[in-house]
Structure 1
Amino acid sequence: MRIRPRHIIVALLAAITAFLLYAARLHTSATPSDNESGLAPPLDMSMEQAPQIALDTHHLDFGTIANDQAAETTVPVYNRGGGLLEITDVRSSCPVCTIGYFDPGKHRIPPGASARMNVKVNPEGIYGFHSQKTLTLWSNDPRNPHVVLTVEARVAPEFEVEPEHFDFGEMEKGTPARRSLVFRSITDSPVRIRKVSLNSDMEKTDVAPLITFDVEELPKPDRRAPERPEYQITAAVSPEMGGGDFEISVFIHTDLKRFSPFRTVAKGRVITPYEVTLDQETSELHLRGRASGMITVRGERPVSVSDIRSEHGVVEIQQNRESPEATQIRCAASETLKRGVHKDAVLFNVEMDGRVYPERISVTVYAYETKPRDNR
């Protein structure tokens, strides 16, 4: 066979390609991952000749900062090794509120020397009145290629809420319960309430809320500072609130530009002479496809359930009275549902000892198909 020039070229290209692939594999196996605790120094360098990064502290506390301007300080970074230390990156867990950086050229630190890292906290990027973020310094220190500095700050508040949350304590099922708190603007830039709801999105409306709110702006004579807005927010628990402990997020939507809404909670314990349980370890029913869910009402004395209904017609209901002390309510998705996620609630009354207690169980249905259920 006669060897032509193109055969030689093809063979050379194949050999070069094989060599490059082999070299790449060697490089990959020799390159440590970010998760490794340290790197070996170059073969011609001992550990004594390698750079070594050090900080005075791993926690920086700014204390209380102004709510309308950034706060800044510097932190010394030391090189206690024998080689040139190079800071290759400073990564923040919250770049919009906490950053660290070196002035140009200051990220290269000779042996035995130090440099100042600038640390800035911007209250405009902080939700609420407290921040704790991290700055991770990456360097060529083979012993410790990255160190973490925790940065903490408290923001001077624009308003205060007194008390901090709605605490209903223990209350009997069906008994009206109301609690109030005061929202008070405490700076010369007034903060006004736009809405109070159980939803973090102000544009959304609470559907059949278990807690409703009344907001009243107090007249100037009743305020701590007459020229600063002050509101009384009153929360009322619905008679349909289920028995047991509850803790529900409450969102106060304001015109404050730095952050909104402000989150607080309403909490308490509802005492009932009976118990309502679900066959799922959740506070509401989740029905997937054609699967059903069970609500059980049980008392130590005779109890009955009446007026059982689906709030929006998404759920089909079947009642089964086990005994005078217990009733089961089987719930399943309606056969006519279209594919998608549907919200509903099962409403019913519990009658016991001559009293009637309204109950409401939220239901989420995940409909996968529209074929009729096979009841055979």
Structure 2
Amino acid sequence: MEIRVNTKGYAGRTLHKTMRVITNDPKNPEVVLKVSGPVAAFADIKPATISLRGDAGEAISGQAVIKSLDKYPFDIVRTTATANARFTYELEKSDKEGETGWILKVTDPDPQGRYTGTVYLHTDNKIRPQLEVRVYGNFFERKLPQAKSAPPPKN
């Protein structure tokens, strides 16, 4: 029997999963298996999600910092984004204090409505050839202040 567990979202934490196995053994028709253990982080991405929020029509931007960890060194060789992404992005390499890192800047020049998208960071490491940074946009129509009407005249 082979068990595969999706560890996405568990980096740097302990994963706990429970599975039910149905058998043809009349004495043990069901067996519960528990799997747990630490999930190693491949990279440090902060924040993991870039949230763009504000008034519609006003350019807005956000950023994430990506750092390579000693255990899994990598370089980012190219970037792509969700098809028809409504945002632009740029990746800038940063070598601060001997740490390899990148700054991902995301901008929406004319934000409207709500959307989700993803920037894909393609690495040269076979363990994780692709990292993802999600982008959420949520923009509101600016409400103009309403003119107050004068109170009715008193008789």
Higher strand share: 2
The equivalent of 1:362 in structure 2 is none
Do the aligned partners of 2:74 and 2:124 also contact (CA within 8 Å) in 1? yes
The equivalent of 1:234 in structure 2 is 105
Query: Is structure 2 residue 78 aligned with structure 1 residue 195?
Result: yes
Within 1, Cα distance between the matches of 2:45 and 2:18? 25
The equivalent of 2:88 in structure 1 is 212
Do the aligned partners of 1:92 and 1:136 also contact (CA within 8 Å) in 2? no
Q: How many residues align?
A: 139
Within 2, Cα distance between the matches of 1:212 and 1:133? 41
Within 2, Cα distance between the matches of 1:127 and 1:93? 16
Normalising by structure 2, what TM-score? 0.70
The equivalent of 2:28 in structure 1 is 144
- The correspondence for 1:156, drawn from 35, 40, 43, is 40
Do the aligned partners of 1:127 and 1:259 also contact (CA within 8 Å) in 2? no
Within 2, Cα distance between the matches of 1:189 and 1:260? 11
* Structure 1 residue 215 displacement after superposition: 0.4
Do the aligned partners of 2:18 and 2:32 also contact (CA within 8 Å) in 1? no
Change (3 A) 1:251 1:173: same
Change (3 A) 1:189 1:260: closer
Larger Rg: 1
Within 1, Cα distance between the matches of 2:20 and 2:76? 35
Within 2, Cα distance between the matches of 1:92 and 1:133? 14
Within 2, Cα distance between the matches of 1:135 and 1:257? 32
The equivalent of 1:172 in structure 2 is 55
Q: Which runs of 4+ in 1 moved over 6 A?
A: none
SS at match of 2:125: coil
Do the aligned partners of 2:42 and 2:128 also contact (CA within 8 Å) in 1? no
Q: Kindly provide the amino acid, as one letter, of the partner of residue 86 in structure 2.
A: L
* Structure 1 residue 92 displacement after superposition: 3.6
- Aligned-residue sequence identity (percent) comes to 18
Render the CA deviation track for 1:316-370: whole Å, top value 9, x for unaligned: xxxxxxxxxxxxxxxxxxxxxxxxxxxxxxxxxxxxxxxxxxxxxxxxxxxxxxx
Unaligned 5+ runs, structure 2: 144-155
Q: Kindly provide the amino acid, as one letter, of the partner of residue 157 in structure 1.
A: A
* Structure 1 residue 252 displacement after superposition: 2.4
The equivalent of 2:148 in structure 1 is none
Equivalent runs, 1:1-376 vs 2, <5 Å: 91-94=1-4, 129=11, 132=17, 134=19, 136=21, 138=23, 140=25, 142-169=26-53, 171-187=54-70, 189-199=72-82, 206-207=83-84, 209-218=85-94, 220=95, 223=96, 225-226=97-98, 228-239=99-110, 241-243=111-113, 245-272=114-141
Within 2, Cα distance between the matches of 1:92 and 1:136? 12
Indicate the RMSD between aligned Cα atoms, in angstroms: 3.0
Greater relative CO, 1 or 2 (CA 8 Å, sep 6+):
2
* Structure 1 residue 127 displacement after superposition: 5.4
Change (3 A) 1:250 1:237: same
Change (3 A) 1:127 1:268: closer
* Structure 1 residue 273 displacement after superposition: 5.1
Q: Kindly provide the amino acid, as one letter, of the partner of residue 88 in structure 2.
A: T
Change (3 A) 1:150 1:231: same
Change (3 A) 1:189 1:264: closer
Unaligned 5+ runs, structure 1: 1-90, 98-124, 200-205, 275-376
Render the CA deviation track for 1:42-64: whole Å, top value 9, x for unaligned: xxxxxxxxxxxxxxxxxxxxxxx
* Structure 1 residue 160 displacement after superposition: 0.2
Change (3 A) 1:248 1:195: same
Render the CA deviation track for 1:52-110: whole Å, top value 9, x for unaligned: xxxxxxxxxxxxxxxxxxxxxxxxxxxxxxxxxxxxxxx3442xx6xxxxxxxxxxxxx
